[in-house]
Structure 1
Amino acid sequence: MTRLFDPESSFSISESIDNYLDEKSATGQLSRSSIRNRRYELNRFERFCKSHKILFPVDIHKNIVVHYLKSLKISKSSKLNVIYVLMGYMDYLVDEGLIIENIASLIGKPKIYPPKTDYLTYSELEILFRSVANHSGKKTVDRNLLMMSLFTDICLRVSEVVQLKQDDVRLDAEELWITRKRHKVDKIPLNQDLINKFLRWYDIRPEYKGSESEWVFLSSHGRPLKPRQVHYIVSSALEKAGILKRKHGPHLLRHSGASLKAQQGENLIVIQYLLGHENLNTTRRYLHFNWEDLKAMVERSPALGK
């Protein structure tokens, strides 16, 4: 094949994917879960290219990318995510002199209209917490109530909760040290209710196997809790409380906590900090209103021109 562009290196697509992800991992630009997800998507793209006898980045063309996207039997939102993954990879290829331009950025993006996001009201949260208190076992009730409160009160991600170490909990200073994405560390203040829940959990925690572990949250087998286990705990609690929403995991609680704070008129910049968002536009997705609030606002409008 005659090429109009002679790349600076002769890495195969497979090798360039490894180099790209190694760089992102080494510099801390992507979390381990993001690395894993991108590797899956890019390896799938590499296999598709290989099936069409395309082995080197320089030979990737727009039609093969379009053909690949067409072959994926996934939703529009998932397809959009794949495009963004390819764009990130091809940015790297351009920087390394392996291709001339980012071909994925030339692909038209599907229009996504996100559905209205569910969130829990204060009364629903009360029902949920009472249900957890009534239906959890003696050894798990304080652990589960603390986890739920970390999602709703200070809006932590599930990854941030399961990665909490005992040294991160500074009860004397009334604060938590949270490791965010890209290994950024933020300090979050604790209120008295959260401090009390930590103390109650710490009272029962020595009865767990592996209680000498550095991790705050342990499973009934004494191992650090995993995100899927936390998702199961929250989902089961919502089901037992009779609360049915489109989403039903820890993120629903995090979203609910942020949404209710916004409804109370709390500073959006402060909510952004709690959520660990780098972009305020991401935080704006947590803003909701109900019909009665809208009616009340219109009623408060002054009568002009009388």
Structure 2
Amino acid sequence: MKYPLDCEISFDKSYLFWLCRFIRNKITSLSNRQVKDKNRLAQILHELITGYNTISELKSSIKEVRNIGINSIHVYFIPLEKLYNFLINFGAASLKEIDEELLSDFLASETANLSDATKKNYRIALISFFGYIDKQNEEKNGFVHRYGIELKNWGGLSGKSGTKLPSFMKKEEVQRFIQAIDKYEFSNKIAARNKLIIKIILYTGIRVNEAINIDLKDFNKDEDAYIIQVRGKGNKPRVVMIKESIIENDLKEWLEYRLTNENLLFCNQKGKALSQAYISSIVEKILLSAGIRKEKNGAHMLRHTFATMLYQKSKDLILVQESLGHADINTSRIYTHFDKDKLKRTTDIF
């Protein structure tokens, strides 16, 4: 069914109407292999058809959708939420006022300090959103409004100079962080679980999303180590390994306390998966307790730390690529920027 472009009495309601339908469309097109609560997801999809009264209500549902297991939906929502606030401040009265020039202004102001990768995500979100509206709007007289947004001439991407180097811990900071993990005072019931998942992320470099979805059947002991099979982006499987001595105490304690019959290694008391936001908040608290401050203090920084140290010790870019599960070796190449041995050679030129 198609709807008029300005289908509500106010601009903010019309925008929210289309955003809810677009988000629903994206949820149904993204991979649902890791969905934990199918009934709740079906309920949210119905709510998106009914619509929400405020952008805050929609934002809460997006967070819940991510926790359920559709993690990449925020890549679309965040830019479109910011566009909503931008247009409200702009004083837009109709969706017909939006054009490519206005969207370029939005991108210029909102993405100035972001990496090229994030800027590309913003551009894709805008093109997808207005492309969806192009196909779904129609007035009573049969007229269809076409945005035709392409943003080909947007000059916000600055090439390699716009790519940010990732935050990571130095060797001395890693040692302090590891000590802080064991010293940090968690609730007794979840201490072992939290320590275990953080150590696995740090020592294997797996993504947070991969860690919170580890299945018990994919976590197996092999001599003095544990072999873990994880599924990365695009549902691609790979294997990582961690020494038994690093996690044996926390693992034993957690498995003894773990009361659920669910297959997830890491879960709450109801057997549900932990959220990425929860893990990142724990990591940030431990970092602060150790006096370590980085530009980004979340759990993903542990992955960058692992990759940086792996390359520094091995000088093997293929190993870094395979360990991190990068489809393209050029993605792994960023860690060569931290090769101190090569940098030291430059100091001897003169």
TM-score normalised by the chain length of structure 1: 0.72
Query: Residue 176 of structure 2 corresponds to which residue in structure 1?
Result: 127
* Rounded Cα–Cα distance in structure 1 between residues aligned with 2:2 and 2:272: 45
Query: Residue 94 of structure 2 corresponds to which residue in structure 1?
Result: 53
Query: Residue 38 of structure 1 corresponds to which residue in structure 2?
Result: 76
1:170 to partner: Cα distance? 2.7
Q: Assess if the C-alpha contact under 8 Å between 2:100 and 2:149 holds in 1.
A: no
Query: Residue 77 of structure 1 corresponds to which residue in structure 2?
Result: 114
Deviations 1:67-102 (CA, angstroms, capped at 9, x unpaired): 5446x6564428834223223456778999996955
1:12 to partner: Cα distance? 6.0
Which residue of the other structure, out of 163, 166, 176, is the alignment partner of 2:216? Answer: 166
Which residue of the other structure, out of 129, 138, 147, is the alignment partner of 2:197? Answer: 147
* Rounded Cα–Cα distance in structure 2 between residues aligned with 1:276 and 1:248: 22
Distance change (3 Å), C-alpha of 1:197 and 1:288: same
Q: Map 1:73-222; keep pairs closer than 5 Å.
A: 75-77=112-114, 80=119, 81-89=121-129, 102-111=149-158, 113-136=162-185, 140=190, 142-172=192-222, 174-182=226-234, 184-191=235-242, 193=243, 195-197=244-246, 199-208=248-257, 210-219=259-268
Secondary structure in 2 aligned to 1:225? coil
1:283 to partner: Cα distance? 1.7
1:279 to partner: Cα distance? 2.6
Which residue of the other structure, out of 275, 279, 284, is the alignment partner of 2:324? Answer: 275
1:171 to partner: Cα distance? 2.6
Query: How big is the alpha-carbon RMSD for the aligned residues of Structure 1 and Structure 2?
Result: 4.2
* Rounded Cα–Cα distance in structure 2 between residues aligned with 1:19 and 1:211: 32
Deviations 1:200-251 (CA, angstroms, capped at 9, x unpaired): 3342124536443322123578754222221122112212222222222211
Letter in structure 2 aligned against 1:228: A
Q: Assess if the C-alpha contact under 8 Å between 1:178 and 1:187 holds in 2.
A: yes
* Rounded Cα–Cα distance in structure 2 between residues aligned with 1:282 and 1:98: 39
Query: Residue 103 of structure 2 corresponds to which residue in structure 1?
Result: 65
* Rounded Cα–Cα distance in structure 1 between residues aligned with 2:177 and 2:320: 23
Say if 2:30 is the partner of 1:25: yes
1:161 to partner: Cα distance? 0.9
Q: Assess if the C-alpha contact under 8 Å between 2:260 and 2:269 holds in 1.
A: no
Q: Assess if the C-alpha contact under 8 Å between 1:152 and 1:258 holds in 2.
A: no
Letter in structure 1 aligned against 2:167: D
Q: Which blocks of at least 5 consecutive residues in structure 1 are unaligned?
A: 1-8
1:198 to partner: Cα distance? 5.0
* Rounded Cα–Cα distance in structure 2 between residues aligned with 1:259 and 1:277: 14
Q: Which blocks of at least 5 consecutive residues in structure 2 are unaligned?
A: 6-17, 34-65, 137-143
* Rounded Cα–Cα distance in structure 2 between residues aligned with 1:187 and 1:26: 18
* Rounded Cα–Cα distance in structure 1 between residues aligned with 2:145 and 2:272: 45
Distance change (3 Å), C-alpha of 1:77 and 1:244: closer
Q: Assess if the C-alpha contact under 8 Å between 2:204 and 2:306 holds in 1.
A: yes
Letter in structure 1 aligned against 2:327: E
* Rounded Cα–Cα distance in structure 1 between residues aligned with 2:246 and 2:4: 54
Distance change (3 Å), C-alpha of 1:127 and 1:69: closer
* Rounded Cα–Cα distance in structure 2 between residues aligned with 1:38 and 1:176: 31
* Rounded Cα–Cα distance in structure 2 between residues aligned with 1:106 and 1:93: 21
1:291 to partner: Cα distance? 6.0
Query: Residue 247 of structure 1 corresponds to which residue in structure 2?
Result: 296
Secondary structure in 1 aligned to 2:295? coil
* Rounded Cα–Cα distance in structure 2 between residues aligned with 1:244 and 1:128: 11
* Rounded Cα–Cα distance in structure 2 between residues aligned with 1:269 and 1:292: 19
1:157 to partner: Cα distance? 1.0
Q: Assess if the C-alpha contact under 8 Å between 1:180 and 1:186 holds in 2.
A: yes
* Rounded Cα–Cα distance in structure 1 between residues aligned with 2:344 and 2:246: 39
Q: Assess if the C-alpha contact under 8 Å between 1:177 and 1:185 holds in 2.
A: no
1:255 to partner: Cα distance? 0.4
Deviations 1:109-135 (CA, angstroms, capped at 9, x unpaired): 253635554322233212221222233
Letter in structure 1 aligned against 2:220: R
Deviations 1:43-63 (CA, angstroms, capped at 9, x unpaired): 6657949945336xxx96423
Q: Assess if the C-alpha contact under 8 Å between 1:94 and 1:100 holds in 2.
A: yes
* Rounded Cα–Cα distance in structure 1 between residues aligned with 2:93 and 2:209: 39
Distance change (3 Å), C-alpha of 1:98 and 1:254: farther
* Rounded Cα–Cα distance in structure 2 between residues aligned with 1:283 and 1:12: 46
Letter in structure 1 aligned against 2:298: G
Query: Residue 56 of structure 2 corresponds to which residue in structure 1?
Result: none
* Rounded Cα–Cα distance in structure 1 between residues aligned with 2:70 and 2:274: 17
* Rounded Cα–Cα distance in structure 2 between residues aligned with 1:141 and 1:27: 30
Q: Assess if the C-alpha contact under 8 Å between 1:147 and 1:161 holds in 2.
A: yes
* Rounded Cα–Cα distance in structure 1 between residues aligned with 2:135 and 2:153: 17
Secondary structure in 2 aligned to 1:171? strand
